[in-house]
Structure formats: structure tokens, C-alpha cells
Amino acid sequence: MLTHCCDGSLPITTVSKQGVKLSLILPSDYHSIKKIQRNRLLQWIPSDTSDTVLPQKHLRIGILNIMPIGHEYELNILNSLGSTNFHIEPVWIKLETHLYKTWPKGYVDNSYMTYEEAKHQGNLDGFIITGTPLEHLPFEEITYWNEIISIMNDARDTVTSTLGLCWAGMAMAYLLGVKKIVYEKKMFGVFELKNTAPDHPIMAATDDKFVCPQSRNAGMDSDDIEKAESRGYLKALAYSEEVGYPIYETPDHKQVIHLGHPEYNSSRLAYEAKRDVDNPRVPPISNFDFKNPSNVWKMHRHTFYQQWVKLCYEKSYPEEIYQN
């Protein structure tokens, strides 16, 4: 029988009915396996192990990764998913209309699949779309915009929940009628936020106040979000005067939007700060010392991804909802 945490979730050290620790399911030759092995919070199972050893019930989480140098960014997502209490198979997805110029030659073709190929292999239990540093451009000017729209629309109909991070979250909100506002200077740093939905299934485990990195040149109009909420199109989940509404969702949980970067490791944020130190459009990073980086948003990352993945699991396996 499974033991439980006070919020109904499984503890990280829980062993499944198959006797396998709750783990990431990854190819044995995955390029960051050594880094994952050094992280004491993460467990992994080789995906090329025989079917009798792999967990029968696990979540296939599609990840549409459009970040620059995205092969290095992958570990940020894996750290977030791997710290949850579920068996997760990451399914890396590529766009057919994107060139991936900053990635190693051949990497995307060898390690990623198209959205249709991912669906053909089996149902996606959850879907993550990453950000990309194009928020200063009108959506319609982005070469792969039509493909993004097609994928988002299909995922809304076929996937339990889609999590849009930063630019992807803006794209989701834009398609729901919320106006994007381009900033004169980048919002850059670690900011305190207020949990505005403490009874919400994703936010229930989050502190009343928490911090999260923001790294974006645009945001969504707060008045439009409030209007959308009053009409029942969106539900705001967090707010601050400085940041606005960075987290919200559609009331059916089908689309969850996080304009921040809870998935970031401190090294990723430090890299961006060092990269942009001489960029006149990027102010000095707020509330973060990139010379001595410290991760103070780790608890938000863990609780946010844990609760989102739990939501995906309960809708994918309703017969397995935990019993006390």
C-alpha cells in the first residue's frame, strides 16, 4: 500500500507497486545522465530496459522545446519533473518549421520527434511548451506561429493539460483574447508573488507568498486578464504589483500559463545575467547575485510541478486516485 504526504501526494522515496522508485524514464545514453546521477533528488530508469521492469503506469509528458541552446536547457525541465512523485517519460518534441540554429547539428533530428509522431506513439498525459526570446515580436511575424497554433489547438482537445512557460504562456493567453504588452526594458530578476488561489489544485501546496524568476521582454495586459476572469475565460493564480499576473489558467485546467521560469536552475539565470550585462535593453538583474548564484525559488518549482503533474495523473488514471 502506498503511503501519503499530508496533501495527498506520494513522498519522493516511495516505491511503486512494481518495486521501482518513482523515476524519470530516459535513454541510457542520454547526454546529461551523469548530471542526473549526481542529483540526489532524481532517480531514473533506462527506457531500453525490458517492459517487465519498467512501470506499467507512467506519464508521457510531451515537451516542445524551442529555447535557444535548448539541449542545455533540457536539464531544467528534467529537474522539475524528476522531483515530482511520479514515473515520467519525457517526450521531446520539435517544430517542423523551426531551424534550431543554436543547437548542435543533428541533435534535434536524432533526439526529438514531431508532435504528430509523439501522438502516434501513444497518448500524451501532459504537455509543456517552453519559452523562446521572441516576445518582443508580434506573434504573426514568427515563422512557426501557424504550427504553434495548430499544436496548441490540438493539445487543448487531446491532452489532459498543457503548461505554457513564458512566451508560450503569452501565446496561449493571446489566443484567448488577452493583449500582449512589450516592455521598454526587460523584466529580469527574482520577484515575490502572492498566491491568489490558495484552494486551487495546483496552488494549494504553494506558500501564500513565494518567489520566482522572471526573464521576459513582455507581459500580458492586467486589465484584459481581469476582464477574461470576470467572463470565466481565465482564472488568475498569482499576482504582484511589480510583476502583474504571471500565473493563470483556463478554468477547465486544460491550459496552465506561467510567465515566469520556475524550472530555471540558478546557473541558467546566472548565464542569462552574464550574457546580457552589457545589453542596454536589459537592466541589472533584480534580487539575484549572478556572481554567487543562489536558488531561493526551489520550493515553488517543486510544489508547482508536483501539483501540475498530479493533476495530469489523476485525470489520466482516475481509478488510481490515492486512497488514505
Based on the residue annotation, tell me whether 263 is a catalytic residue of this protein.
yes
Specify if 130 maps to a domain. yes
- Going by pLDDT thresholds of 50, 70 and 90, the confidence category of residue 203 is very high
Task: Residue 34: give the domain boundaries.
Answer: 24-180+219-264+301-320
Q: How much is the pLDDT for 298?
A: 95
Based on the residue annotation, tell me whether 184 is a catalytic residue of this protein.
no
Higher pLDDT, 306 or 41: 306
Based on the residue annotation, tell me whether 261 is a catalytic residue of this protein.
yes
- Residues 285 and 189: beta-carbon distance below 8 Å: yes
Place of cell 552589457: 278
pLDDT above 90 as % of the chain: 82
Specify if 278 maps to a domain. no
| 69 Rama class: left (phi>0) / alpha (psi -120 to 50) / beta | left
Question: What CATH number is associated with residue 152?
Answer: 3.40.50.880
Specify if 100 maps to a domain. yes
- Residues 175 and 155: beta-carbon distance below 8 Å: no
Total structural domains within the chain: 1
- Residues 25 and 89: beta-carbon distance below 8 Å: yes
Mean pLDDT within 171-199: 96
Specify if 240 maps to a domain. yes
Q: How much is the pLDDT for 324?
A: 33
Of 89, 135, 249, 263, catalytic: 263
Q: How much is the pLDDT for 8?
A: 39
d(CA 36, CA 82): 9
d(CA 213, CA 218): 14
pLDDT in tens, 103-144: 999 999 999 999 999 999 999 999 999 999 999 999 999 999
pTM exceeds 0.75, yes or no: yes
In a 13 Å sphere around the CA of 19, the CA atoms on its Cβ side amount to: 2
Specify if 211 maps to a domain. no
Specify if 87 maps to a domain. yes
Specify if 81 maps to a domain. yes
Comparing 38-47, 95-104, 166-175, which segment has the lowest mean pLDDT?
38-47
Of 58, 74, 135, 166, catalytic: 166
Specify if 187 maps to a domain. no
Kindly list the distances between the CA atom of residue 213 and the CA atoms of 14, 87, 127, 262, 292, in Å, as whole numbers in the listed order.
Answer: 30, 27, 21, 6, 16
Of 71, 253, 261, 300, catalytic: 261
pLDDT in tens, 294-323: 999 999 999 999 999 999 999 988 876 554
Place of cell 497518448: 123
